[in-house]
Chains A and B, each alone.
Chain A
Amino acid sequence: MKIRQRIRARTSPVAYVGRTLLALLALALVWYGLMLVLLAAKLSPDKVDAISRYRTAFDYFAGLQPGDVTSRVRLIAGLSGFAVFAVCCFLAWKELPRPYLARGDLSLLEDEQTTITVKPRAIERAAEAAVVEHPAVIGAAARYGEQLNVDIEVRRGRDLAQTMREAQLLVAEALSRLELPALPVSVTLAGFDRRRREIQ
């Protein structure tokens, strides 16, 4: 039996903030790697410092003394540190992949006394039966998830685009005929029967 269940993973749009941070780190690696190469190649340190401030930054941090940490600095460092902690924890949480099962029953009606659901295989069979009515289609395999994906195998290379549009329309009409809710229907060319074409 063909396994039709699929596990998908959602990515939060917030995850792109974390990627931006990584991109900034990568840019810093490239930039200061280049500065290291220039220094190692004995370019003037003053020129390298003028464009990158590597020496200025190092001297500033190397020269910090315990007395420089005033109450105001501590307050800023404490609040900023806590803000960084909270934001980075949130972003790291959003980075975690969240797998879920994409295929489930379609609920048509649900109240206190009645529940009407359609099993996903019924929707898939309806789509497959509709698509193979097309003369150019010799096989179909549908998969119902957040949308309806129909993989088709065709016997004719001519008018392929038209065949795929008509296949999509046939599925939409079948869903409508069965009074099922309109679903986004994706059609994918998954096979072409070359052998049959040559025999013909």
Chain B
Amino acid sequence: MLLLLKAIARLATFVLLIALAVLGLAAAVFSIQGDSRAVSLPRLAQHFQLPELRDVVGPYLDRLEADGPTAWVSVGAGAALIAAGLLLLAGVLMPRRERLVVLEEHDEARLAARRRPLAHVAAALAERERGVTRTKVRVRPARLGRGRLRVATYYSRGRSPEEIERRVSAAVEPLADAFRLRKRVRARQGERGKARVQ
């Protein structure tokens, strides 16, 4: 979604700049002559049909300002403008989510990990703990600040979830600390037939 917004924002920037350049050139060229001659600013306004636009916008504003019930069509148009503006702002300002989780970065050299193998490493560390039968790990790099490491761990009967959470949390802590990830560990009792035999 953000990738699409960024592409639209880039295209919109280019189109905006071209439009401004054309307008600037037109204003420069049509400043050559005065009054209402062929290459004058009033003639440029006529080429852009600004008098006709004034005759449409003026009465529209008058109707909008008059007392009466809420003009729902205009409310919708205003809401659409706000939404378009916010989407453009998101496309321009929001940083892309990193595809990699960064361990260290010095100048151009970087130590980083892809999300899936890092999740596999965290799962392997969690599954070494006694009583853990299966884990599901999700690694989510951050747009700003720290990323997230979510561990859902399944345990065999006879174990307490608190104990499993504490031990799994301790097992993945060095990894989470090294990659500056906020970790969240949840323990659930394994379902019959799905768990690995310990």
Contacts and interface: CB of A to CB of B under 8 A. Distances in A.
B86 interface: yes
B42 interface: yes
A91 B19 CA distance: 12
Contacts of B86: 26, 30
Interface of A: 15, 18-19, 21-23, 25-42, 45, 54-55, 58, 61-62, 66, 69-71, 73-75, 77-86, 88-89, 91-92, 95-96, 146-147, 153-154, 157-158, 160-161, 164-165, 168, 184-192, 194, 197
Interface in B10-39: 10, 12-14, 16-18, 20-29, 31-32, 34-36
A78 B70 contact: no
A22 B117 contact: no
B17 A92 contact: yes
Contacts of A185: 109
A194 B25 CA distance: 64
B54 interface: yes
B107 A184 contact: yes
Interface stretch (B118-126, B149-157, B162-170, B181-189): B118-126
Instruction: Summarize B's interface: helix, strand, loop or mixed.
Output: helix
Contacts of A33: 77-82, 84-85
28 contacts: A18-B17, A25-B88, A27-B89, A29-B82, A29-B84, A30-B81, A33-B77, A33-B80, A33-B84, A37-B74, A40-B78, A41-B70, A58-B57, A61-B54, A69-B34, A77-B27, A78-B32, A81-B31, A92-B17, A92-B18, A96-B14, A154-B117, A157-B124, A161-B179, A165-B111, A184-B108, A188-B114, A189-B117
A150 to B, nearest CB: 10
Interface string B65-76: 101111111110
Contacts of B100: 188
Interface residues of B, number: 77
B195 interface: no
Contacts of A21: 13, 16-17, 20
Contact of B121 (A22, A71, A88, A157): A157
B175 interface: yes
Given A42-B68, A184-B109, A74 B41 contact: yes
Contact of B114 (A73, A75, A80, A189): A189
A154 B113 CA distance: 11
B20 A84 contact: yes
A15 B82 CA distance: 25
B81 to A, nearest CB: 3
Contact of A82 (B25, B35, B122): B25
A95 B88 contact: no
B109 A147 contact: yes
Contacts of B124: 157, 192, 194, 197
B28 A78 contact: yes
B136 to A, nearest CB: 14
The listed residue with most B CB atoms (<10 A of its CB), out of A40, A54, A55, A96, is A40
Contact of A19 (B32, B92, B109, B113): B92
A14 to B, nearest CB: 11
Contacts of A147: 108-109
Given A37-B75, A40-B64, A85 B111 contact: no
B85 A27 contact: yes
Given A36-B77, A165-B111, A185-B109, A26 B17 contact: no
A18 B13 contact: yes
B24 A186 contact: no
